[in-house]
Homo-oligomer: A and B are copies of this chain.
Amino acid sequence: MTGLRYSTTGPGMALLTAVFTPFDEAGELALDTVAKQADALLAWGSPAAFVGGTAGEGAALSTAERMALVERWCEVAAGRLDVIVHVGHASLTEARQLAGHAERVGAKAISAVPPYFHRPETVDALVDACAVITDAAPTLPFTYYHIPSITGVHLRASDVLLAARERIPSFAGVKFAANDMVDLQRCLHLAGEQEIFVGVAKLVLAAWQWGARAAIGSVYNFAGPLFRQMLDDAARGELAKAQEYQLRAQQVIDAAARSGGELTGFKALGSVLGVDCGPCRPPLPSLGPEQVAVLRAEVARLGFGVDGGR
Contacts and interface: CB of A to CB of B under 8 A. Distances in A.
A92 B182 contact: no
Contacts of A89: 90
B63 A94 contact: yes
Interface stretch (A6-14, A31-39, A113-121, A270-278): A113-121
Interface residues of A, number: 56
A136 interface: no
A212 to B, nearest CB: 12
**How many identical subunits does the complex contain?**
4
Given A182-B200, A186-B247, A203-B185, A93 B60 contact: yes
A179 B186 CA distance: 13
A299 interface: no
Contacts of A126: 283
A203 B186 contact: no
A243 B125 CA distance: 31
A301 B185 CA distance: 22
Nearest to A186: B250
Given A121-B285, A189-B243, A283-B129, A61 B182 contact: no
A246 B185 CA distance: 10
A44 interface: no
A283 B130 CA distance: 10
A2 interface: no
A132 interface: yes
A118 B283 contact: yes
A182 B209 contact: no
A288 interface: no
Interface of A: 54, 57, 59-63, 65, 89-94, 97, 114-121, 125-126, 128-129, 132, 150-152, 179-182, 184-186, 189, 200, 202-203, 206, 209-210, 243, 246-247, 250, 261, 263, 281-285
The 5 A-B residue pairs whose C-beta atoms are closest, nearest first, are: A59-B117, A120-B283, A59-B90, A62-B93, A129-B283
